[in-house]
Amino acid sequence: MKILQTIISTSVLLIATVGCSRNPSCTAEDTKHGDADEKVLIAYVYNPKELPDPTYLTHINYAFAHVDDEFDGLRIENPEKLREITALKEQYPHLKVLLSVGGWGSGNFSEMAADSLLRLSFAKDCRRAVDEFNLDGIDIDWEYPTSDMAEISASPDDTKNYTLMMRDIRTAIGPDKLLTQATVATAKYIDFRAIDQYIDFTNAMTYDLGWAPYHNSPLFTSEIRDPALVSVAEGIQAHLDAGVPPEKLVLGMPFYGRGTDDFPHGVDITKTHLLEGYTYHWDPVAMVPYLTEDATGKFAFGYDNEKSLFIKARFAVEKGLKGAMYWSYGGDNSHGDLRRTVYKALNYPEFRLGYKTQQ
């Protein structure tokens, strides 16, 4: 952990040495797009009001498509917006766009995957979508095989059938397209060793790990972590222990926070530390910020900011992971401070956050 300790000590001072952060005149000329050693940064893009800026991204996962009501094909939300996003590849040739199928509460997976004919038809429709929309691949976000917690159908055979589904999708889309998956932080529900031959990488959803009065995405375990859940570090280790190679594992980050019922909804997390009526804190063990309510002193909001995302990105590098992903693009500010910070921290060892702050 010596490398991480160095990361933490330098990030506390936040002394500028390289930089784009907080510099509106900065360009992307120093990105590593196309380099063999570039770490990936994947943005889930959901219901965007404007087209995303791919400058500091390598992949976009367009959310969402769903298994249709006949259990044999895809239903894509707002397909015209998907066409606009894939068209960005003309301007940004480094960019790869995948269609993410599923999401919380998205059902019909269990029925489809259990039937060989339905499964083959679904896989064929994935290929059709790849061709029609000029996609670079398919991302599966079945939350979660064998579990009905999202109020969707489930079966004890889901894990086995999940492997068969991924096999059939791989066969249908061919070896040159990407096949990825989003997985629960605990690494449950999926036989990772069985599917390794079919997938390119796994996006570990290491967030939603606690609701107020607990942190949303603590890197390490502290007194403010939900004892029933895991930390980010524990979730990553669970994936590695389950057989995911580090070079095929992507660390998930939240570009949002979770607060108490009366906490203001939709706040800009890059300015949350300035919110009137609340006090900013830094948890030096969990390596994430949080707010308390001035009137009561109680935990009010757990989230990530540039400092915590920087540290998580360095953690991913230290672990030899493929990179990072985040939910979702819309949580960043108009300057792209969060995604730029993560991309730089992943790909440039000399990068430090370029400003001094208490954040």
Q: What is the pLDDT of residues 117-161, one digit of tens each?
A: 999 999 999 999 999 999 999 999 999 999 999 999 999 999 999
208-263 residue pLDDT tens: 999 999 999 999 999 999 999 999 999 999 999 999 999 999 999 999 999 999 99
Name the token pair of 158: 């889901």
**Domains in the chain, CATH or no CATH each:** 2-270+304-347 (3.20.20.80)
Q: How many other CB atoms are there within 10 angstroms of residue 356's CB atom?
A: 10
Q: Is the pLDDT of residue 8 over 90?
A: no
Sign of CA dihedral 71, 207, 199, 161: negative
191-205 residue pLDDT tens: 999 999 999 999 999
Q: Is the pLDDT of residue 18 over 80?
A: no
- The side-by-side arrangement of strands in the sheet containing 299-302 is 258-259, 299-302, 288-293, 278-283
Q: Report which of 119, 212, 105, 221 is spatially closest to residue 161, judged by C-alpha positions.
A: 119
pTM > 0.85: yes
- Using DSSP's 3-state secondary structure scheme, residue 248 falls into helix
What crossing angle do the helices spanning 116-133 and 79-87 adopt, rounded to 10°? 50
> What pLDDT is stored for residue 30 in this prediction?
80
> What pLDDT is stored for residue 10 in this prediction?
38
Number of helices (H), then strands (E), belonging to the chain: the values are 9, 13
Q: What is the dihedral of CA 82, 50, 270, 290, to 10 degrees?
A: -40
Q: What DSSP letter does each residue of 118-185 carry, written as one string?
A: HHHHHHHHHHHHHHHHT-SEEEEE-S-TT--TTSS---TTHHHHHHHHHHHHHHHH-TTSEEEEEEET
> What pLDDT is stored for residue 320 in this prediction?
98
50-73 residue pLDDT tens: 999 999 999 999 999 999 999 999
Q: What is the mean pLDDT of the chain?
A: 92
- Torsion-angle region of residue 103: left (phi > 0), alpha (psi -120 to 50) or beta? left
Q: Is the pLDDT of residue 28 over 80?
A: no
283-339 residue pLDDT tens: 999 999 999 999 999 999 999 999 999 999 999 999 999 999 999 999 999 999 999
Residue 273: pLDDT band with limits 50, 70, 90 = confident
Residue 2: pLDDT band with limits 50, 70, 90 = very low
Q: Is the pLDDT of residue 21 over 70?
A: no
Contact between 10 and 342 (Cβ < 8 Å): no
What is the arithmetic mean of pLDDT over 4-24?
39
